[in-house]
Homo-oligomer: A and B are copies of this chain.
Amino acid sequence: MEHYIDKLKHSGLKLTPRRQAIIALFIERKSHLTPEKVWEYLKKKFSRCGLPGVYRNLESLVECGILTRIQQFDSKKHYSLCSIGYGHDHHHFICRKCNKVEEVDFCNFKVISRFIEDNLHAKVEAHQFQIQGLCSKCK
């Protein structure tokens, strides 16, 4: 948790009770969550709590590298904790059964990047990679 609080402060964002609760929720769940799911949880902890604030906070936490967006083609936004952060190139493995998100501290992007620059004559700037399967417990 300390690690995330440092990230928050380092980005000039305030450490509010909502943000602490959101981070704690992601730490506890170990899975990807939609704004709606986060709101369901926050409503229990805070008597007054608006959904727009949840959307704003999730995006702020992405900005400062605490959360990452997860792609699930269901027309909802999904977020997950990212302890490694933007700086270090890595990816996320998602269990299709329990939705657990694990960080994969590995990236062999250079090979495909080289292929694209050679074959398409394009300039590669960014990439997203996401892997699904079954985690060690669910398989």
**A69 at interface by CB-CB < 8 Å:** yes
- A120-B93 contact given A77-B73, A128-B129, CB 8 Å threshold: yes
* In the complex, chain B residues whose CB is within 8 Å of the CB of A115: 104, 106
Contact B124 A136 (CB under 8 A): no
Contact B136 A125 (CB under 8 A): no
* In the complex, chain B residues whose CB is within 8 Å of the CB of A69: 73
- Which of chain B's residues has its CB closest to A108's CB? B111
Contact A102 B122 (CB under 8 A): yes
- A75-B73 contact given A122-B133, A122-B135, A126-B133, CB 8 Å threshold: no
* Binary CB contact string for chain A from 75 to 115 against chain B (1 if under 8 A, 0 otherwise): 10100000000000001010110000010101110011101
Interface residues on A, range: 35 or more
A25 to B93, CA, bound (A): 35
- A91-B106 contact given A123-B139, A131-B124, A135-B120, CB 8 Å threshold: no
Task: List residues of A whose CB falls within 8 A of some B CB.
Answer: 69, 71, 73, 75, 77, 91, 93, 95-96, 102, 104, 106-108, 111-113, 115-116, 119-136, 139
